């Protein structure tokens, strides 16, 4: 739960920079604290609301560039970095194309393009060619002209049959020496060209057809892997010069999604607290919050020396939590 990791927690029903400024001024009236912009906020920034506070993540300019498809893909093209074909106009042949929201978080605004009328993403979307392959996520720390790789993970989607490609979870993955070297070279190019700073991640697809490495997106803030990074690096996570730690354990974080609309009441919360005695759970829904279908209930975390066992624990407790809502 957020309350266990934070001194103060503020909840926003909707993204509002005016409300963010008010909260920041309450927490830090003299503008002396360090700020790290997180998921959901990094994708929606319009103005610099930090004042004189030190930003230990990416600048507002960098975040805007990462969230603007035309600027993002043009910078990749100029750096000779491979990415799937994309366009703003609707493809004539919709087969094997995706429609993506420019400010998508966790794949919530990524769908397989169908023949039906397009109306969900309004004007703030683009289209990208689907590439079949393995998704690899790389976490790293950027500082000036340097990057330190921190971890590599494989990803999976919530439901393969679902038209929306929602992120299901991640698990640490060891890459071959050759692939690791190539990915590090690409990541360093990206970091330099976008002037990245702090904790970042890049999502790649390794093509099943030709083993080509495609860049899908760059996340200019901590993501779902933050829990495993904290477990592996501890207090040294934000140190600029960190050596890659190869862990013999497999770390996984998985988002548990609701299969129906339900009220997150006291009974469900008590049941979840009992599960917390056996497993780490974070980002639990609010008391008396209505959780809609396909929306996150919580995130569960697991680790063991066996990849199979780690995934089994995740699957076991995901099912248990979903059963609480029946």
SS3 167: strand
| 301: nearest Cα among 238, 249, 225 | 225
Q: What is the per-residue pLDDT across 228-273, written as a single tens digit (0 to 9) for each?
A: 999 999 888 887 777 888 889 999 999 999 999 999 999 998 999 8
The conformation of residue 235, written as its DSSP 8-state character, comes to G
Distance between CA atoms of 188 and 140, rounded to whole angstroms?
10
Over residues 137-175, the pLDDT tens digits come to 999 999 988 999 999 999 988 876 565 678 899 999 999
When pLDDT is cut at 50, 70 and 90, the band that residue 1 belongs to is very low
pLDDT of residue 105: 57
Tokens 């169908």 label which residue?
Answer: 114
Tell me the C-alpha distance between 170 and 179, whole Å. 19
Mean pLDDT throughout 283-289? Answer: 86
Q: What is the pLDDT of residue 43?
A: 83
Measured CA to CA, the distance from residue 126 to residue 110 in angstroms comes to 10
Q: Which of 114-128, 225-239, 269-283 has the lowest mean pLDDT?
A: 114-128
Q: Which pLDDT does position 75 carry in this prediction?
A: 97
Q: Rounded mean pLDDT of 81-88?
A: 95
Q: Which is nearest to 182 in space by CA: 219, 212, 145?
A: 212
b (16+ CB within 10 A) / e for 106-144:
bbbbbbebeeeeeeebeeebbbbeebebebbbbbbbbee
pLDDT of residue 211: 93
Helix (H, G, I), strand (E, B) or coil at 118: coil
Highest mean pLDDT among 1-15, 184-198, 223-237: 184-198
Reply yes or no on whether the pLDDT at 115 is more than 70: no
pLDDT given at position 165: 76
Mean pLDDT of 91-113: 76
Residue 203 has pLDDT above 80, yes or no: yes
Domains of the chain: 2-56 (no CATH), 65-236 (3.30.470.20), 250-324 (no CATH)
Instruction: Please tell me the least confidently modeled range out of 22-31, 41-50, 194-203, 306-315.
Output: 41-50
| pLDDT over 70 percentage in the chain | 92
Better pLDDT: 93 or 30:
30
Tens-digit pLDDT profile for residues 44-58: 888 888 889 999 999
Determine the average pLDDT of the residues in 104-113: 67
């Amino acid at each position: 739960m957020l309350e266990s990791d934070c001194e103060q927690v503020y909840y926003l029903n909707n993204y509002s920079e005016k409300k963010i400024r008010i909260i920041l001024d309450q927490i830090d009236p003299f503008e002396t604290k360090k700020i790290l912009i997180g998921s959901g906020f990094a994708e929606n920034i319009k103005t610099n609301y930090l004042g004189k506070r030190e930003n230990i993540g990416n600048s507002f300019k960098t975040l805007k560039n990462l969230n603007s498809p035309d600027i993002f893909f043009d910078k990749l093209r100029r750096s000779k970095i491979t990415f799937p074909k994309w366009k703003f106009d609707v493809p004539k042949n919709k087969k094997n194309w995706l429609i993506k929201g420019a400010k998508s978080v966790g794949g919530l605004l990524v769908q397989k393009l169908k023949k039906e009328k397009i109306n969900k993403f309004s004007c703030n979307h683009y289209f990208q060619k689907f590439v079949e392959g393995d998704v690899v996520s790389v976490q790293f720390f950027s500082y000036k002209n340097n990057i330190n790789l921190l971890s590599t993970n494989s990803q999976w989607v919530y439901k393969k049959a679902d038209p929306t490609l929602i992120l299901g979870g991640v698990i640490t993955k060891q890459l071959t020496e050759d692939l690791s070297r190539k990915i590090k070279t690409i990541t360093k190019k990206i970091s330099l060209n976008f002037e990245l700073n702090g904790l970042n991640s890049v999502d790649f697809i390794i093509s099943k057809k030709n083993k080509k490495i495609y860049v899908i997106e760059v996340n200019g803030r901590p993501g779902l892997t933050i829990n495993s990074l904290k477990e592996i690096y501890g207090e040294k996570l934000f140190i600029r010069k960190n050596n890659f730690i190869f862990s013999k354990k497999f770390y996984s974080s998985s988002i548990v999604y609701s299969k129906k609309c339900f009220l997150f009441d006291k009974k469900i919360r008590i049941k979840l607290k009992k599960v917390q005695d056996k497993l780490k759970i974070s980002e639990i829904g609010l008391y008396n919050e209505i959780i809609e279908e396909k929306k996150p209930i919580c995130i569960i975390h697991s680790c063991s020396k066996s990849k199979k066992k780690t995934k089994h624990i995740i699957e076991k407790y995901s099912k248990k939590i979903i059963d609480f809502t029946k």
